[in-house]
Amino acid sequence: MATKIVTGAAGFIGSHLAQTLLKEGEHVIGIDHFNDYYDSKLKRNNIAILQQYPNFDLIEADIQTIDWKILLQHTDVLYHQAAQAGVRASWGDGFRLYTERNINATQIILEAAKETPSLKRMVFASTSSVYGNAETMPTPETICPQPVSPYGITKLAAETLCWLYYHNFGVPVTALRYFTVYGPRQRPDMAFHKFFKAAIFDQSIGIYGDGQQTRDFTFVSDAVAANLSAAEAPEAVGEVFNIGGGSRVVLTHVLDTMETLIGKPIQRDFQPMARGDARHTAADVSKAKNILAYSPKVSLIEGLAQEWEWIQNLYKIDPNKKP
């Protein structure tokens, strides 16, 4: 039985993807370094869920230390979800981690993949951050990428490496540009997680800018479905796809929706616009719809309700204890 590999398996999207594959009876090898970008206990919680399945194996290691040629020998699909995430942390001294974990790690995998003719597909997790402040909304894949953050630059560089190895060595790569994925297990540095957590502890939330920025929010199960389709569709090889939620929403509207779910006001602390944040994002998903049969299923209100339920369970702690 061929193996599926998921890098970043302890992370937000990676753990959901791995669990979906396991439920389908696939043998999955999950790879994660458990770095300290955020509390590793959250990652351990995600892995504990996956380890309930007998067809799951974990490799805890830095991608750059693994013998990929051996590992890929019995692998038909590699889902490369691992990355150093976060726009704001990518400035300054932290940039070195982004070049190592986003560019160098991807190149090492591609080098091994070009020597593995049995590999049927490599699905690379890219990001809408490659677009920066796109002039066209919704943004199609044909728009020239213009990242406005060091993070976006490293992800675009890794994506470009994928195309180099596809054109020169025939590595069967497909790339997915995620637009603001949310849902249960979301990283604690991401907005919805921070907003819900602040509400639980009656703290104010920091809003960068005037709150009128817009985002295309994508529920995690829709992102997972896109990965599964990208691994199967013959026409997907050598292509990049936008993966969005199907609607562009103003941030203040999202906060109003959250307040309705929570049942109380959220204290808002407006702060200067953060460097590297795009003002607006909106995905043109027509290409994904045509080739991957991609169709986002989960509405924003439904997705927020699921994340709110998860957040409440996550922070069931002593009410007198500070987070």
pLDDT of residue 33: 97
User: Has residue 29 been placed in a domain?
Assistant: yes
Strand partners, 269: 206
Q: Mean pLDDT across the stretch 261-288? A: 93
Strand partners, 182: 219
Size (the chain), residues: 323
User: Has residue 22 been placed in a domain?
Assistant: yes
Active site residues: 151
Query: 67-94: per-residue pLDDT in tens?
Result: 999 999 999 999 999 999 999 999 999 9
Q: What is the CATH number of the domain that holds 149?
A: 3.40.50.720
User: Has residue 32 been placed in a domain?
Assistant: yes
pTM of the model: 0.96
| Average pLDDT over the chain, rounded to an integer | 95
**Domain limits for position 173:** 3-181+219-245+283-297
Phi, psi of 58 (to 5 degrees): -110, 135
Phi, psi of 169 (to 5 degrees): -125, 0
User: Has residue 228 been placed in a domain?
Assistant: yes
Cis peptide before 319 (omega within 30 of 0): no
User: Has residue 15 been placed in a domain?
Assistant: yes
User: Has residue 303 been placed in a domain?
Assistant: no
Number of domains in the chain: 1
pLDDT of residue 276: 87
**Which sign does the torsion angle of CA 203, 299, 20, 162 carry?**
negative
Query: 169-178: per-residue pLDDT in tens?
Result: 999 999 999 9
User: What are the distances in angstroms from CA 291 to CA 27, 165, 233?
Assistant: 26, 22, 7
User: Has residue 162 been placed in a domain?
Assistant: yes
User: Has residue 204 been placed in a domain?
Assistant: no
Q: Taking 70 as the threshold, does the pLDDT of residue 108 lie above it? A: yes
Q: Mean pLDDT across the stretch 217-234? A: 98
Q: Mean pLDDT across the stretch 309-323? A: 72
User: What are the distances in angstroms from CA 141 to CA 131, 283, 289?
Assistant: 9, 9, 13
Query: 234-244: per-residue pLDDT in tens?
Result: 999 999 999 99
